[in-house]
């Protein structure tokens, strides 16, 4: 990457100013060498554990610094924000700490656990308003309310103070590395505030470091913007990686990524799920989907990172336990172990036994069996889920199902049918 004037955007000094403000407020989260990942990828992997931050995500940094820059009159009038999770918690924590009234708009679809956390961190200083079914609708209401009541709106990512605050992650990170090289930094991209702040500082201090931004495949808004040469609005996104599922990145964050980020890569949501489970079982780390993006991307850069020093920012750990069943399901589908089919079964005794004996392999298991229609006819369609022990067994399974029912239909890759039926 050619050298650029980083001071044209958020500068190293801007980040250091934010660090001076935040160092007594935020937790200096650990930078831990991870021996499991280091061995797995034949390099030195360090995890920057922002999942251990006071609000369990990096968002506190930007929120606190942005609010701390407001005038006394603005603080007295109070602030607003729109968020479905981590940004709201950062604003709530800040407002209780500084004694600033806040009105926080959250979509009506926000899980109760996240709403409760916001109220917990904000205490008596925060009012939560559940408005709209989507983040965009909630943000519209927040901005309208801000204008009508002369309140400062605290943007989630597209703001210089927010970016500078998030950049303090990099100050701690490089300080803890000391004289060690920092060859690669992997950071999640949602709206782009984190990677923008980190890149601003790292490229100024260690310009040879390669910075990789990581997006979920279902919401590649920064990648699409860089391809188009301007910020674009995605018509549809997969909201599963909720902390990084953004339809449109910021104008300011786009400019940072265009000039300072070496590469933006995408990771499948199923691979994110596999990474979450791996981090939990192997390292006892509870990462939210966005928090696992940076680690999931390592698999895409094996040759480049071999023998190098790599930092992955685990950006958050606010993972709802109620999502674990869906996480496991997505992981198994991604790994090629769980498959769903519509198969016509003869409606006679012994048909299921015949399927089990003639179609399933010795280590295969049925995880779902449901008639979609029961009528007086010779055959009826069945939704059947099969769990394999080895993904290489799939082709042979298809051959055996085709003998049982030549008109069968795999539905894993048919998103509409999968969503409707599974």
Q: Give catalytic residue positions.
A: 59, 315
Q: Is residue 122 within 8 Å of residue 96, measured between CB atoms?
A: yes
Separation between Cα atoms, residue 242 and residue 5, nearest integer Å: 33
Burial of residue 272, with CB atoms counted within 10 A of its CB: 0-12 exposed, 13-18 middle, 19 or more buried: buried
Structure tokens at 17: 């100013």
3-class DSSP assignment, residue 126: strand
Rounded alpha-carbon distances, angstroms, from residue 219 to 179, 223, 391: 37, 9, 27
Separation between Cα atoms, residue 137 and residue 145, nearest integer Å: 12
Rounded alpha-carbon distances, angstroms, from residue 371 to 328, 352, 355, 374: 24, 12, 14, 7
- Rounded to the nearest 10 degrees, how much is the dihedral formed by the CA atoms of 49, 248, 252, 47? 10
Separation between Cα atoms, residue 231 and residue 255, nearest integer Å: 9
Residue 185's H or E segment, with its range, is: strand 184-188
Which residues are within 8 A (CB) of 351 and not within 5 positions of it... i.e. 6 or more apart?
345
Rounded alpha-carbon distances, angstroms, from residue 158 to 186, 250, 342: 20, 5, 46
Separation between Cα atoms, residue 353 and residue 331, nearest integer Å: 29
Residue 379's H or E segment, with its range, is: strand 379-387
Rounded alpha-carbon distances, angstroms, from residue 189 to 194, 222, 265, 297: 7, 8, 10, 12
* 365-371 and 379-387 beta bridge pairing: antiparallel
Q: Is residue 338 within 8 Å of residue 330, measured between CB atoms?
A: no
């Amino acid at each position: 990457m050619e050298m650029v004037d980083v001071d044209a955007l958020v500068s190293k000094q801007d980040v250091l100013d934010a660090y001076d403000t935040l160092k007594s407020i935020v937790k200096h989260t650990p930078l831990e060498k991870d021996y499991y990942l280091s061995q797995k990828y034949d390099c030195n992997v360090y995890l920057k554990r922002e999942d251990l931050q006071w609000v369990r995500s990096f968002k506190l940094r930007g929120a606190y610094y942005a609010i701390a820059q407001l005038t006394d009159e603005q603080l007295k009038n109070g602030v607003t924000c729109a968020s479905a999770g981590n940004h709201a918690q950062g604003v709530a924590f800040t407002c209780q700490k500084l004694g600033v009234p806040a009105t926080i708009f959250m979509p009506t679809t926000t899980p109760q656990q996240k709403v409760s956390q916001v109220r917990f961190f904000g205490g008596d200083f925060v009012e939560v308003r559940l408005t709209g079914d989507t983040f965009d609708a909630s943000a519209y209401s927040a901005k309208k309310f801000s204008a009508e009541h002369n309140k400062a709106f605290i943007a989630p990512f597209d703001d210089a103070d927010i970016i500078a605050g998030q950049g303090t992650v990099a100050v701690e990170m490089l300080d803890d590395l000391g004289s060690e090289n920092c060859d690669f930094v992997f950071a999640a991209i949602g709206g782009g505030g984190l990677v923008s702040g980190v890149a601003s500082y790292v490229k100024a201090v260690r310009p040879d470091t390669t910075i990789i931004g990581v997006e979920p495949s279902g919401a590649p808004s920064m990648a699409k913007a860089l391809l188009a040469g301007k910020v674009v609005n995605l018509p549809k996104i997969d909201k599963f990686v909720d902390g990084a599922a953004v339809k449109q990145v910021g104008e300011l964050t786009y400019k940072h990524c265009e000039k300072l980020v070496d590469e933006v890569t995408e990771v499948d949501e199923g691979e994110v799920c596999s990474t979450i489970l791996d981090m939990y079982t192997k390292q006892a780390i509870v990462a939210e989907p966005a928090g696992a993006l940076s680690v999931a991307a390592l698999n895409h850069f094996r040759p480049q990172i071999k023998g190098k020093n790599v930092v992955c920012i685990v950006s958050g750990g606010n993972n709802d336990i109620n999502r674990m069943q869906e996480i496991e399901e997505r992981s198994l589908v991604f790994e090629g172990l769980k498959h769903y089919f519509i198969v016509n079964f003869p409606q006679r005794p012994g048909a299921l036994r015949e399927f089990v004996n003639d179609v399933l392999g010795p280590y295969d298991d049925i995880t779902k069996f449901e008639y979609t229609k029961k009528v007086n006819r010779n055959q009826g369609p069945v939704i059947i889920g099969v769990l394999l022990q080895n993904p290489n067994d799939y082709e042979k399974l298809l051959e055996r199902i085709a003998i049982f029912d030549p008109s069968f239909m795999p539905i894993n890759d048919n998103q509409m049918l999968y969503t409707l039926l599974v």
